[in-house]
Chains A and B, each alone.
Chain A
Amino acid sequence: MMKRLLLSAAALALSTSMAQAQYSDNKVKIGVLTDLSGTYSDLAGQGSVEAARMAVEDFGGKLNGMPIEIVSADHQNKADIASSIGRKWYENESVDAIFDLVTTAAAVAVREVSREKGKIDINSGAASTVLTNAQCSNTGFHWTYDTYALAVGTGNAVVKQGGDTWFFLTADYAFGHDLQAQTEKVVKANGGKVLGAVRHPFPNSDFSSFLLQAQGSGAKIIGLANAGADTINAIKQAKEFGITQSGQKLAGLLVFLSDVNSLGLETAQNMQLTTGFYWDMDDGTRAFSKKFSERMKGKMPTMVQAGVYSSVMHYLKAAQAAKSDEGIKVADKMRELPIADFFAKNGKIRADGRMVHDMYLAEVKKPAESKGAWDYYKILRTIPGDEAYKPLAESACALVKK
């Protein structure tokens, strides 16, 4: 009897020590690499870091007895800085996974490093579909949204409401071109026509000239294939020049909650947009957002920040279930487990790394409809995940078996 007890105790000790050996350095370390100082620091930035901290706290701060640590850094939207910080984290500071990665150029740079090191990167902030196509990796994921989903969400809805002639104002860089091309496809597939497009320098502050050209085209819809300050300025000036009053409509293809906050409802009202998350949808989203805003000087989370929370949580669950922090093992587990939290009700991860979840078509409220601070959106429609994201069959990702 005694002997048996001893044996089983020994076996137990052995099994726990084996479990421990699976976690490098006896801890799990995650990095949030984002824009802490530039154009995207309000829609991602410190809010993303805080969201990741909240996820770790809600998880309990420990994973199978191992402490969970968080580091964060500013990549200044520059690919070279992103890649060098990523490399340093993986090589020197035993970081196991990197989150947020706003800006496609930075995201792709980190993707290269992660692939080489067999580590996990989960993208919430960047927009380009390249991350789940040409640049896909078996340890890389794309969480919150992408240009395809934006184009489908906003493009479909607008054309169906009769907005069948378009003119694009496009930021002259990869992201803008990509967004315009995706949206054009959607517009044409729905029987709409594209009357013209103008590529403006990035960044740009005066849009009046481009807006006048758009007005001259006679198109019913002016599609804004840009982001951040460019979008804000374009919308502001469209109102100033009476474009919106004269019957033409704006379609902001990538608009974040922080942008609407900056524009004010007076200017932004009636605009339709596609988002992956809105704080005021149900008890789950409200509970998270309330906690978030208490920690972020009253700001409500953007979809990117909520996506960071969700992705960190899912990563930790997978790492726990896999009993390891080794990239490929956790990645396999992540694909296996379904995602069901306040952010994604019925999310699943595909072979190409795309996390497919429902998207929402929202309309910005009129000032009279808003009940207070941050009460900005009316959700018009839920776009089912399989409709919102590019079908796997069309993916250019090498991991997708055809």
Chain B
Amino acid sequence: MMTILGIPVQALFGQLLLGLINGAFYAMLSLGLALIFGLLNIVNFSHGALYMMGAFVAWLLLNFLGMGYWTALIVTPVVVAIFGMIVERTMLRRLYKLDHLYGLLLTFGLALIIEGAFRQLYGISGMPYAVPKELQGGWNLGFMFLPIYRGWVVVASLVLCLGSWLLIEKTKLGSYLRAATENPSLVQAFGINVPMMVTLTYGFGVALAAIAGVLAAPIYSVNPLMGSNLIIVVFAVVVIGGMGSILGAVITGFMLGLVEGLTKVFYPEAASTVIFVVMAIVLMIKPAGLFGKRS
């Protein structure tokens, strides 16, 4: 059998595939974060908490309203997006003209409140959420056993990311959005309701986090702290990709999943640190990130 650095090639394939699956989550989360930063100029530190909220809402829908996975996949992002839009209208709105720092602080405070509230209600050790019947089981790929559900996660994430990218780059709505990022007052002068667009963008970014949460529910334990350590990693992904760059966030998300996957094989202890090493190196060489425009 062929080996690379003592690891059989086939095993390595398996690890890369798993890295790609994790990358799918990074991509969905960092896409939302990058969108919000691009238009609102706010570093949304509550993104991890909203991801958790997505998973919890799915669990609540199942246990109190009997709504299954597929319905939850539609309903949850709507619920969380409405919550997000209320937050945007009542709080974030006041901070747009200020330093990034205040937005970061406010959303950090919000994250504490959201996580604290769910912990108060449901405890810490998490809730079980079963894999939907249609997606149970797995395929034997020869080099590894791939659960169908994980395959679905990658496909869903790719479709979502591609769809969002097309929406922003190829549609009229998207072009307004990009224009508003560059020069909001000019776009407002053309008769477009910029504040409304900002609210909807925040709602959309948050909805992406919620979908990621629903997708994660059957894999990870649904618990109030599931998003709290994820946020700085996702934030790092956005920075490496280039702040505000949609495509950069998505590609970097998948790429870092792969890098992390390899680290788990060769130096597992460092798996959660490697992303920051990459970030430091990238920022030293390409100050605006891999896909960012130099401002």
Contact = CB atoms under 8 A, between A and B. Distances in A.
Interface stretch (A36-44, A132-140, A218-226, A272-280): A36-44
Of residues A208, A232, A241, A263, which shows the largest number of chain B Cβ atoms within 10 Å of its Cβ? A208
- By secondary structure, the B interface counts as mixed
B244 to A, nearest CB: 27
B128 A262 contact: yes
Interface string A345-382: 00000000000000000000000000000000000000
A210 B145 contact: no
A199 interface: yes
Contacts of B105: none
A206 interface: yes
B264 A210 contact: yes
A212 B13 CA distance: 11
Given A208-B18, A212-B18, A216-B11, A229 B272 contact: no
Interface string A219-242: 000000000110011001100111
Interface string A36-78: 0111111101000000000000000000000000000000000
B132 interface: no
A236 B219 contact: yes
Interface string B120-131: 000111111011
A240 B124 contact: no
Contact of A212 (B126, B144, B221, B272): B144
A38 B124 contact: yes
A233 B220 contact: yes
A391 to B, nearest CB: 33
B66 interface: no
A198 B147 CA distance: 22
Interface string B261-285: 1001100111111000000000000
A200 B147 CA distance: 22
A285 B16 CA distance: 49
Of residues B22, B123, B269, which shows the largest number of chain A Cβ atoms within 10 Å of its Cβ? B123
Contact of B272 (A201, A228, A242): A201
Interface stretch (B38-46, B92-100, B223-231): B223-231
A37 B271 CA distance: 26
Given A200-B268, A203-B229, A209-B15, A229 B128 contact: no
A262 B126 contact: yes
Interface residues of B, number: 41
B219 A210 contact: no
Nearest to A35: B124
B228 to A, nearest CB: 10
A209 B261 CA distance: 7
Nearest to B14: A212
Contact of B268 (A39, A199, A205, A216): A199
B202 interface: no
A229 to B, nearest CB: 6
A267 B11 contact: no
A53 B19 CA distance: 48
B31 interface: no
Contacts of B123: 41-42, 258
A212 B125 contact: no
Of residues A203, A228, A236, A267, which shows the largest number of chain B Cβ atoms within 10 Å of its Cβ? A236
A213 B18 CA distance: 12
Of residues B144, B149, B273, which shows the largest number of chain A Cβ atoms within 10 Å of its Cβ? B144
Of residues A39, A200, A229, which shows the largest number of chain B Cβ atoms within 10 Å of its Cβ? A229
A237 B146 CA distance: 12
A179 B261 CA distance: 26
Nearest to A172: B269
B125 A43 contact: yes
A11 to B, nearest CB: 56
Interface string A183-212: 000000000000000111101111011101
A272 B128 CA distance: 20
A69 to B, nearest CB: 26
Contacts of A204: 271-272
Interface in B94-147: 116, 119, 123-128, 130-131, 138, 144-145, 147
Contacts of B119: 37, 41
B85 interface: no
Contacts of A216: 8, 11
B260 to A, nearest CB: 9
A137 B78 CA distance: 57
A201 B272 CA distance: 7
Contacts of B19: 209
A320 interface: no
Contact of A240 (B127, B149, B265): B149
A209 B147 contact: no
Nearest to B140: A242
Contacts of B161: none
A262 B128 CA distance: 6
Interface in A235-269: 236-237, 240-242, 246, 258-259, 261-264, 266-267
Given A236-B219, A240-B150, 14 more contacts: A40-B124, A43-B125, A172-B269, A205-B220, A208-B18, A209-B265, A212-B144, A228-B125, A229-B125, A233-B221, A236-B220, A240-B131, A240-B219, A241-B138
The 4 closest A-B pairs by CB, nearest first: A264-B128, A209-B264, A42-B125, A201-B272
25 contacts: A37-B116, A38-B124, A38-B225, A41-B123, A199-B268, A200-B268, A204-B271, A204-B272, A205-B230, A208-B150, A209-B18, A209-B261, A209-B265, A210-B264, A212-B14, A216-B11, A229-B125, A229-B223, A229-B225, A240-B147, A240-B149, A240-B219, A258-B123, A263-B221, A264-B130
Interface of A: 37-43, 45, 172, 198-201, 203-206, 208-210, 212-213, 216, 228-229, 232-233, 236-237, 240-242, 246, 258-259, 261-264, 266-267
